[in-house]
Amino acid sequence: MNVRLSKPRKVIYLLVGGLCLTLGVIGLIIPIIPGVLFLLAAIYLLSRGSQRIKRFTESNPRVLHMQKRMDQFGEVNAADRFRLAGWMALGATVQSFRVIGNGFSRAVRTVGRSVS
């Protein structure tokens, strides 16, 4: 996909890509945030905004495969994208509650043992 982007659009891709990169690195440290997903999104967005990063992604076969799949996703209509984003948000919310619930259960068991 070799489309020429306007300068404001490139800046937006780079800013959002930088934000995803930051969240991805934080997500590698904090297990609640899905770091790998943010890093993949960062690679995709940054390669859309920077020719240097795009050349790097095209030289790496693993990243190139992911890039091609994301480009195919661009052909999906907006309604399906929003539906997919909603399902992903719901899944992340359920997973977060599951992690918080497990931590709460452990804390209650630990307190119960120390009181007895």
Q: Domain residues of the chain, as ranges?
A: 1-75, 78-116
Choose among 32, 16, 12, 36: nearest CA to 24: 36
What are the pLDDT tens digits along the chain (116 aa)?
A: 455 667 788 888 888 888 888 888 888 788 777 777 888 788 878 887 878 877 877 777 776 776 677 667 666 666 766 776 778 778 888 888 888 888 888 888 888 777 76
Instruction: Read off the pTM.
Output: 0.49
Q: Which amino acid is at 41?
A: A
Tokens of 9: 């659009």
Q: Which of 108, 77, 36 is nearest to 44 (CA)?
A: 36
Q: How far apart are the first and last CA of the chain?
A: 65
Closest CA to 43 of 56, 34, 27: 56
